[in-house]
Structure 1
């Protein structure tokens, strides 16, 4: 039945055209964005998964940046540690040369001074982004520890966690203002005078003593005791920084490296006070032990030993190495450098292992980010071949629908001619 009020064919065609236009708009949006699922309305589940994975991928990108920053810090520390090993080798060679007869010791000392200055420069320069793993000021855990970001994870319950690599700076710090660095030795305490005070015995000159380790006599530090006898005057023996430098040489700068240095200083002070080594003398009886027995039995040590500790407690380090002192001191310093070389070599090996770990972790994280990108694309990306083909088909359908609508509308015009 034909009607001039209701054009059934036109209504049907117009409905089809609307559906085609809607499909075209959706397809064009996919082509424009490249996404099959752009909003939650497109596919709520896939959109939610894709959004979460994109967020994780951004976090992983930040992790890679943090690991690159950490790697750079490790690289700087490793380079400085390698230079330190080379400089320690040079200082050891100079100390060894100084122990040989006929060597111009003053020139050797100048070379050592230059090497020490160079080493200090290397340590001070081993800083990246404000972090220097080769120097510190303190012994607390927060001072001697740091972390490097190494990963980002999300568990099955959706909980996220940042993974870190803990770094114990006690294994890398070369010089610490509070002591304990790899290039430091002794606790810096003057109060025991390397074990001399502990060996004090008022009933004799000394009981057997053990040298406790290198130490430095700071300005303001002093040690004094009396020696005398029934028929002899009492002598007050005083040891301070000037005494040390007078006994060992000005290059010593108040530093006593070994038991032979300590014995030399004490004996010098006894003579300087007016006493005689034939009656009172400190003997070195082993690599770290000392003793005294009054040969004539005339001298006795009075029970009034006095220690004035300025509290400076300067820490002894590689920077105090010197050719001043006894031959035993040079041997002791060479042995200390051997220990330092082993410590710094171990530290460099640890840093090298950390470098490798961070490189592998960075490579893995980059691969993981690529995998996540692929996974997100599988869920939400549009197939451009399919989408472009669909658009072409919809454009054809649109043209046909427009033509069909035109025909449907023209049928009413033919009907109106019957009434003319």
Structure 2
């Protein structure tokens, strides 16, 4: 091999190997810092594309969960209000039945009527306040609540509105309903019985939808978790393995620096040829 001060092949090779080691060390340090084996498209274009698509799905399911949570809260508010109305109707029926007793004196019937009207008015108060996030499912102000069911929005779960307002199709008694005679009280008691059955059926429908939302929310949570795990399997770095590689590459780097130093010192041996 030619000995020259102009060209040092040994130093070139040593520098190439050192640069390669430094690149490998930089890659390992990036994996340790980010925790990712595939942090960008240049690391592995195919895996990165798959992971990004899965991340998009996870993001979509996060929106679905938020929609389902709002739906469950809205329905729970409606259920709480409906149950309170059902209890009020039971009390109102008790008052009307008591007032339907023909042997009851006028003063007692009037007192029962006042209690009845107070309970009646409470229904309107409950209905008007049974709202969550601007949605009221029991006052006939909406067509229902539509919750997202999948990550691209192509499927939904609809909760129908249940109108529990007075004078509606479910609660048939009017907002001015009252009684002054035993006959009127008996008629109202019959209306209350029908209204109570209707309300309980509406509560059953709302309860079924609430359960459906809860079940789907649990499913979406599990699905999102499975996708997160899948993404991790694709792109996460094995930190134990990278730690072991880091020590090995750092050793190679030190050896490479020493090898480069030896190669750079080689041309100095030419001086020995010119010593007398």
Q: Within the alignment, does 1:408 sit opposite 2:258 as a pair?
A: no
Shift of 1:90: 0.6
CA distance in 1: counterparts of 2:169 and 2:256, whole angstroms: 86
Unaligned runs of 5+ in 1: 138-142, 154-159, 185-316
Larger radius of gyration: 1
Q: Which residue of 1 aligns with 2:44?
A: 43
CA distance in 2: counterparts of 1:351 and 1:326, whole angstroms: 36
Q: Which residue of 2 aligns with 1:322?
A: 178
The two structures have a TM-score, normalised by structure 2, of 0.92
1:156-198 per-residue CA deviation (whole Å, 9 max, x = no partner) reads xxxx4432112222xx11127xx643113xxxxxxxxxxxxxx
Shift of 1:105: 1.2
Q: Which residue of 2 aligns with 1:339?
A: 194
CA distance in 2: counterparts of 1:403 and 1:412, whole angstroms: 16
- Greater helix proportion: 2
Task: Tell me the secondary structure at the aligned position of residue 154 of structure 2.
Answer: strand
Q: Which residue of 2 aligns with 1:382?
A: 237
Q: Within the alignment, does 1:106 sit opposite 2:124 as a pair?
A: no
CA distance in 2: counterparts of 1:415 and 1:378, whole angstroms: 57
Task: Tell me the secondary structure at the aligned position of residue 150 of structure 2.
Answer: strand
Shift of 1:357: 1.3
Equivalent pairs counted in the alignment come to 271
1:28-62 per-residue CA deviation (whole Å, 9 max, x = no partner) reads 11111111111111111111111111111111111
CA distance in 1: counterparts of 2:118 and 2:182, whole angstroms: 22
Contact kept, 8 Å, 1:147 with 1:164, in 2: the verdict is no
**Structure 1 moving runs of 4+ over 6 Å:** none
Aligned pair partner of 1:167 in 159, 172, 196: 159
Shift of 1:417: 2.6
CA distance in 1: counterparts of 2:218 and 2:104, whole angstroms: 58
Shift of 1:381: 1.1
Contact kept, 8 Å, 1:147 with 1:166, in 2: the verdict is yes
Instruction: Using CA pairs under 8 Å that are at least 6 residues apart, name the structure with larger relative contact order, 1 or 2.
Output: 2
1:368-409 per-residue CA deviation (whole Å, 9 max, x = no partner) reads 111111101111111111111111111100000111111112
CA distance in 2: counterparts of 1:411 and 1:98, whole angstroms: 118
Task: Tell me the secondary structure at the aligned position of residue 131 of structure 1.
Answer: coil
- Greater strand proportion: 1
The two structures have a TM-score, normalised by structure 1, of 0.62
Q: Which residue of 2 aligns with 1:213?
A: none
Contact kept, 8 Å, 2:124 with 2:165, in 1: the verdict is no
Aligned 1:21-420 pairs, distance under 5 A: 21-100=22-101, 101-103=103-105, 104-136=108-140, 143=142, 145-153=143-151, 160-169=152-161, 172-175=162-165, 180-184=168-172, 317-325=173-181, 327=183, 329-420=184-275
TM-align CA RMSD: 1.7
Shift of 1:318: 4.0
Task: Sort the Cα spacing of 1:106 and 1:330 in 2 relative to 1 into closer, same or farther, 3 A.
Answer: closer
CA distance in 2: counterparts of 1:39 and 1:62, whole angstroms: 25
CA distance in 2: counterparts of 1:414 and 1:110, whole angstroms: 118
Shift of 1:83: 0.4
CA distance in 1: counterparts of 2:181 and 2:174, whole angstroms: 15
Shift of 1:364: 1.1
